[in-house]
Structure 1
Amino acid sequence: MKIKTKSKKVNKAWLHDHLTDPYVKLAQKEGYRARAAYKLKEIDEELHLLKPGQLVVDLGAAPGAWSQYVRRKFAPKEAGVGGAAVGELNGTLIALDLLDFEPIEGVRFIQGDFREDEVLQQLRDVVGGRPVDVVISDMAPNLSGIESSDSARVAHLVELAVEFAQNHLRPDGALVCKVFHGSGYSQLVELFKRSFRVVKPIKPKASRDKSSETFLVGRGLKLQA
Structure 2
Amino acid sequence: MHDYSMFDKVFWTFPTCVEAFKHCKPFVSVDGMHLFGKYGGVLLIAVAQDGNSNILTLAFPIVGSETMESWSFFLINLRQQVTPQEGMLIVSDRSQTIKAALRTDDSGWQSPRAFHAYCIWHIVTNFMSRFKYAEEKRYLINTAYSPSKVGYEWYMDALRGLSQEMVDWASRFNKEIWLQQCDGGNWFGHMTTNLSECMNVMLNSTRYLPISAIV
**TM-score (normalizing by structure 2):** 0.32
Which of 1 and 2 has higher RCO (CA within 8 Å, sep 6+)?
Answer: 2
Structure 1 or 2, whichever has the larger Rg, is 2
